[in-house]
Amino acid sequence: MSIAYVDTSAVVAIAFAEDGSAALARRLDGFSRLVSSNLLEAELRAACLREGRPAPADLLACIEWILTDRPLSPEIGMVLESGYLRGADLWHLATALYAAPEPSAISFVTLDRNQARMASALNFRG
């Protein structure tokens, strides 16, 4: 079973049909499970409203939500030991760590270079 944590940047690229989004969508189709923080839905819906586009319900339906049952302080600390990230990017990585205590067990899919660098430093697969 192959699992990918999906960051909002990847989903927005697909929703807006940005350059390279078809290849990205095919890549995501290759995973048996796609997971993310439910923050992704808020970020995606806000981006769609800003751009006057409907939110892609079919894309959201493919994602299993990781709902945490405690503060992510330990995971946030682990991420910040590797460097600085903006709040939402930090939250996505912390949530991925919560879901996969062994980061090398899953892929972290993002188009954000800083976040990808941090995911690599934390040993997530690219």
Run means of pLDDT, 10 residues per run, the chain, 126 residues: 96 96 96 98 97 93 97 98 96 98 96 97 96
pLDDT for 1 equals: 79
Token pair 């976040």: residue: 115
The range of the structural domain enclosing residue 49 comes to 3-119
Residue 76 within a domain: yes
* pLDDT reported for residue 98: 98
Q: Among candidates 105, 115, 94, 107, which has minimal Cα distance to 37?
A: 94
Residue 14 CA to residue 11 CA, distance in Å, equals: 5
Residue 125 domain-assigned (yes or no): no
Residue 79 lies in a domain: yes
Is residue 10 one of the residues assigned to a domain?
Answer: yes
Q: Tell me if 49 is assigned to some domain.
A: yes
Residue 6 has what pLDDT?
Answer: 98
Amino acid, res. 25? A
| pLDDT given at position 40 | 98
* CATH number for 89: 3.40.50.1010
Task: Tell me whether residue 124 is in a domain.
Answer: no
Closest by CA to 99, choosing from 40, 28, 56, 35, is: 35
Structural domains of the chain, count: 1
Give the per-residue pLDDT at 83: 94
Residues whose CB is less than 8 angstroms from the CB of residue 72 and which lie 6 or more positions away in sequence, other chains included? 91, 94, 95, 97, 98
The 3-state DSSP class for residue 38 equals coil
